[in-house]
Amino acid sequence: MSQRVYIFDTTLRDGEQSPGCSMTVPEKLKMAAKLVDLGVDIMEAGFPIASIGDFEAVEAVSKEFSEMQVAALARCTKLDIDRAAEALKHTKRPRIHTFMATSDIHLQFKLKKSREQVLEEVVKSVQLARTYCDDVEFSAEDAARTDPDYLEQVSKAAVAAGARTINLPDTVGYSIPSEYSALIGRICKALGDTAIVSVHCHDDLGLAVANSLAAIEAGARQIECTINGIGERAGNCSLEEIVMILKTRGDKLPYYTNINTEHLFAASQTLSSVITFGPQPNKAIVGENAFAHEAGIHQDGYLKNKSTYEIIDPKTVGVPQGKLVLGKHSGRHALKDRCSDLGFELSKEELDFVYHGFCELADRVKGVRNDAIANICRDAKKALGVSA
């Protein structure tokens, strides 16, 4: 029997806190609407204590999508937890996500606290968060580099204090799948059915998705991830990749998510339109080349039967079919449609600007790539003073 894996999206929090990705409140709302279309289980809308803007964004998302399970991040302090609870007051299903580092490296150099102190503060903070809502998640920051005995002790104490979800991040993207799987398996066994074990993997060694998958196989049932894999440094586990792995390889992986995968491409494009960059062309699932077949042998096989070179029907992830190559003979209409596919709805004035930039580029290059068109759209929005 297939088992459910919950998708906790942190595009608006971990994703947003990385360079080039900050979003205004209206931009977060626009992106949140796409996450609702996707059917993510939990949407982390921000870190309310971090700034007034972050507080307002969490509040606005909670108000507009009050049926959604919305999470807000808080360190293990009263100030942070009170602020998170305040920002979440409009949602019917609030989750306070409180965190504290547990590795000796962080304790010694960053927190300058003993293991006992950390344990005590975790317990107090989870208890405080539970006075505001039933749904409390505790994250042991840098769990992957934490002494497993201590991690088990903290995890059990957080659950006893009232946490329902225990998240064990690979904060610095250092772990490898076999090692991470052993750690997650051990904590899952220790907690039994008292809590959901969650993972949150960074991609510093390009292993965020592989580590998340290993964790699922070891018992984790919540994956923290982001659209296009954005996030601190090299980013987080990519939502579209982990979801499509489970969907495509159900023959080997008896797990499912409730994601409406046909909205993946639109979510990716919308994100690219509100931040300063899109996914690289060869990015799995949502990259511009993900479903392109260029080599003659590949084209020949593909035309005879798509399954020769395509493991996912592009429709499954919402990639528009029969895309035209845009070049110097393309007209305004085709360009406007492409901009819309890329997440940019343009006014007449903006379209004029984009068309001008596009024609200039099309004179110089053979087909104009989507990322170049998206850049011109961003320039237009900037030049004409409108946020995307």
C-alpha to C-alpha distances, 276 to 68, 107, 183, nearest whole angstrom: 27, 35, 36
- The enclosing H or E element of 204 equals none
Q: Is 108 exposed, middle or buried (0-12, 13-18, 19+ CB in 10 A)?
A: exposed
The minimum distance between CB 359 and ligand KIV, in angstroms, equals 44
Q: Is 222 in the site for ligand KIV (CB under 6 A)?
A: no
How many Å separate Cα 226 from the centre of its chain?
A: 1
Spell out the residues 6+ positions from residue 255 whose beta carbon is closer than 8 angstroms to its own: 2, 3, 4, 5, 216, 246
* Site map (CB under 6 A) of ligand KIV, residues 185-204, x = contact: ---------------x-x--
- Among ligand KIV, Zn ion, none, partner that 139 touches (CB below 5 to 8 angstroms by kind): ligand KIV
In the complex, least distance from residue 142 CB atom to Zn ion, rounded to whole angstroms: 10
Select the binding partner of residue 99 from ligand KIV, Zn ion, none (C-beta < 5 to 8 A, by kind). Answer: ligand KIV
From 166-174, 251-259, 343-351, 380-388, span contacting ligand KIV (CB under 6 A): 166-174
Cβ neighbourhood burial of 82 (10 Å; 0-12, 13-18, 19+) = middle
- 146 residue type, one letter: T
- Give whichever of 159 and 361 is closer to ligand KIV, judged by the CB atom: 159
Find the shortest distance in angstroms from Cβ 17 to Zn ion: 9
Binding partner of residue 211 among Zn ion, ligand KIV, none, CB cut-off 5 to 8 Å per kind: none
Indicate the helix (H) or strand (E) that contains 92.
none
Which residue minimizes CB distance to Zn ion? 14
The one of Zn ion, ligand KIV, none whose footprint includes residue 30, by CB under 5 to 8 A per kind, is none
Minimum CB–partner distance for residue 222 and ligand KIV (Å): 12
As given in the structure block, the two tokens for residue 54 are 């972050």
Angle at 207 between CA 292 and CA 269, to 5 degrees: 40
For the CB of residue 236, give the shortest distance to Zn ion in the complex, in Å: 6
Tell me which of 171, 175, 211, 212 binds ligand KIV, using CB under 6 A: 171
DSSP per residue over 94-146, as a string? EEEEEEEE-SHHHIIIII---HHHHHHHHHHHHHHHHHH-S-EEEEEETGGGS
Which residues lie across from 201 on neighbouring strands?
Answer: 170
- Please tell me whether residue 14 binds Zn ion under the rule CB under 5 A: yes
Q: Which of 11, 98, 102, 139 contacts ligand KIV by CB under 6 A?
A: 139
CA separation, residue 80 to residues 20, 22, 69, 87 (Å): 25, 21, 19, 11
* Interatomic CA distance for residues 347 and 367, integer angstroms: 24
CB-nearer residue toward Zn ion: 176 or 234: 234
Residue 169 in the binding site for ligand KIV (CB under 6 A): yes
Q: Least distance in Å: CB of 58 to Zn ion? A: 17
Return the CA Rg of the chain: 22
CB nearer ligand KIV, residue 139 or residue 272: 139
**Residue closer to ligand KIV (CB basis): 74 or 362:** 74
Distance in angstroms (rounded) separating the CA atoms of residues 227 and 270: 10
The conformation of residue 326, written as its DSSP 8-state character, comes to P
Closer Cβ to ligand KIV, 141 or 240, answer by number: 141
> Residue 341: phi, psi to the nearest 5?
-60, -30
User: From the CB of 224, what's the least distance to Zn ion, in Å?
Assistant: 8
Least Cβ distance, residue 142 to ligand KIV (angstroms): 7
- Residue 270 binding: pick among Zn ion, ligand KIV, none (C-beta 5-8 Å cut-off by kind): none
- CB nearer Zn ion, residue 168 or residue 317: 168
Q: Which range touches Zn ion (CB under 5 A), out of 8-16, 74-82, 138-146, 296-304?
A: 8-16
Query: What residues numbered 55-114 form the site for ligand KIV, per CB under 6 A?
Result: 99
Does 255 sit near ligand KIV (CB under 6 A)?
no
Report whether 41 contacts 282 (CB < 8 A).
no
Kindly list the residues in this chain that would bind Zn ion in the complex (CB under 5 A).
14
What residues make contact with ligand KIV under the rule CB under 6 A? 14, 99, 139, 141, 167, 169, 171, 200, 202
